[in-house]
A and B are shown apart, each in its own frame.
Chain A
Amino acid sequence: MAQTSELTLTTRLFLKAYRWRQIDPVPFAPLSKPLAECRVGLVSSAGFVAPGVEPFDEELRGGDSSWRSVPSDADTSSFSDSHRSESFDHTGMERDPELVFPLTRLHELAAEGWIGEVAPRHASCMGSITATGRLVNESAPDMAAQFVEDQVDLVLLVPV
């Protein structure tokens, strides 16, 4: 189980003082069709990038709120980890990227009939963002625009 007690003292002190951004009001878009007919997309905040794609900037103050579009046929085993946080164990996701970017798992669920199909494009970002203004005002709307353009019904979001 993830607990703040496993974090470093510096991180715990930071989190104690940090003012979390509460979603208010909470928007709620009901699913409009059965899961077996839905087009499903992924957002992973693991900071993974595909070969040849610019890595996230680990040094950016407040966190790098940029994002990368990931095609549905991407090979997750080729992804590299550019997440800056040292507050968690990276070994699991470096051994098996599907642990945090389950694109192959999603294709398997589509093959099983649990979902209708996998979206053509997904999104990768680095979740270690303390200054959330640019994320909320620019990156999140841009990510949403991609999924709306692709007529995606449902998006699963995976943090680390």
Chain B
Amino acid sequence: MCNQTVGLVAAELERQGVTTVAIQLLRSIAERVRPPRGLWVPFPHGYPLEAPGEPERQRQVLRAALDLATAPGPGPLLVDYVPTRPG
């Protein structure tokens, strides 16, 4: 339900002229609801930024979301996040 909720809020923001990126945990729901820009992350429910107590991993997800904000339209855009692991 959270995926739908943030998608619907994102749509209203975009209608008001504000760019959005909605992180999405369930790809199948994102494809149905269609937020304007969605970053699908391969993490469990409750862990949208991957891991607690891991600031850099959390920032990596946020940087990917911010990058998606620069993508040209039209929407919906749904991009898969690929975590990078230290060598």
Contact = CB atoms under 8 A, between A and B. Distances in A.
B59 A21 contact: no
13 contacts: A2-B45, A20-B29, A23-B8, A28-B74, A63-B1, A92-B47, A93-B46, A102-B62, A141-B12, A144-B18, A156-B22, A159-B5, A159-B24
Contact of A125 (B9, B22, B33): B9
Contacts of A114: 63, 66
A29 B14 contact: yes
Interface string A113-155: 0110000000101011110100110011101110110001111
B33 A20 contact: yes
A153 to B, nearest CB: 6
Given A22-B32, A31-B70, A43-B9, A160 B45 contact: yes
Interface of B: 1-26, 28-29, 32-36, 42-53, 55, 58-59, 62-63, 65-67, 69-70, 72-76
Interface residues of A, number: 70
Contacts of B17: 29, 148
A98 B23 contact: no
Contact of B9 (A3, A30, A100, A140): A140
Contacts of A28: 14, 36, 73-75
Contacts of B15: 27, 29, 144
B6 A45 contact: yes
Interface of A: 1-4, 6, 20-24, 26-32, 35, 38, 40, 43, 45, 63, 85, 87-93, 95-96, 98-100, 102, 104-106, 108-109, 114-115, 123, 125, 127-130, 132, 135-136, 139-141, 143-145, 147-148, 152-160
